[in-house]
């Protein structure tokens, strides 16, 4: 198909598709002549994935590119690809809390990880975010929200296992990689909206 059809079928404007091509988010179409290229279902799927990451999961274009490069890589292991995705969905943060507050939070996170027996890199982006979040919650006088950390971790662990089980049910390694990436990124959006619904429910029952 040509670019007009790709645009119509994906709902993405032609200039935007050209922009994604320029930015390397979308592989170039196969040139049939110097100024004529043809695109296929693979491009259409890619485009849907790109829009989902940008619109639904709010991933910036530069990080979408990093994710797609990891997805297309034939040298990275699945575990390494997950690392790329985690870095892509974690905004880089400049540390804000005071030193003592942060080391206290870091210690608490360290203990949590040990209690749960989690095998994670000590400098993974999620740890930085978690430590920062806990120390900010403390500084805002919201220690009570932190006190349930273990229970949150347990509940989260449960559905993460479900996700992984769902992903592992596929057999083609390429499909698994794709599911891991999509599951990590869109799963976040899914869980977040379920959480808001659960909150709204409780709020409507208790507080109104």
Partner DNA sequence: GTTTATGGATACTGCTACTATCCATCCGGC
Partner DNA sequence: GCCGGATGGATAGTAGCAGTATCCATAAAC
User: What residue ranges bind DNA (CB under 7 A)?
Assistant: 2-5, 13-16, 18-19, 21-22, 28-29, 31-39, 54, 60-62
Least separation in angstroms between residue 195's CB and DNA is: 22
Partner touching 52 among DNA, a copy of itself, none, CB below 5 to 8 Å by kind: a copy of itself
Site residues for a copy of itself, 52-71, by CB under 8 A, read 52, 55-56, 58
Nearer to DNA, 3 or 137 (CB): 3
Least separation in angstroms between residue 163's CB and DNA is: 26
Question: Which of 179, 182, 184 has its CA nearest to residue 86?
Answer: 184
Nearer to a copy of itself, 39 or 57 (CB): 57
**DSSP class per residue in 132-191:** HHHHHHHHTT-HHHHTTHHHHHHHHHHHHHHHHHHHHT--SHHHHHHHHHHHHHHHHHHH
Partner touching 104 among a copy of itself, DNA, none, CB below 5 to 8 Å by kind: none
Range 1-5 contact pairs with CB under 8 angstroms and sequence separation of 24 or more: 1/38, 1/39, 1/40, 2/36, 2/37, 2/38, 2/39, 3/29, 3/37, 3/39, 5/39
Least separation in angstroms between residue 6's CB and a copy of itself is: 15
């Amino acid at each position: 198909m040509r670019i007009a059809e790709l645009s119509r079928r994906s709902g993405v404007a032609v200039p935007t598709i050209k922009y994604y091509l320029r930015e390397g988010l979308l592989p170039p179409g196969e040139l049939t002549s110097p100024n004529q290229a043809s695109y296929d279902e693979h491009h259409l799927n890619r485009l849907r994935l790109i829009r989902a990451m940008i619109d639904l999961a709010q991933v910036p274009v530069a990080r979408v590119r990093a994710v797609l490069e990891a997805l297309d890589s034939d040298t990275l292991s699945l575990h390494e690809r997950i690392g790329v995705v985690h870095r892509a969905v974690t905004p880089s943060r400049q540390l804000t809390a005071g030193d003592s507050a942060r080391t206290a939070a870091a210690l608490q996170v360290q203990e949590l990880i040990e209690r749960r027996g989690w095998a994670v890199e000590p400098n993974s982006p999620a740890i930085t975010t978690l430590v920062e979040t806990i120390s900010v919650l403390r500084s805002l006088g919201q220690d009570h929200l932190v006190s349930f950390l273990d229970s949150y971790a347990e509940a989260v662990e449960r559905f993460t296992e479900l996700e992984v089980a769902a992903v592992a049910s596929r057999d083609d390694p390429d499909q698994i990689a794709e599911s891991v990436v999509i599951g990590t990124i869109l799963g976040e959006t899914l869980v977040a909206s379920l959480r808001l619904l659960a909150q709204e429910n409780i709020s409507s029952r208790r507080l109104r």
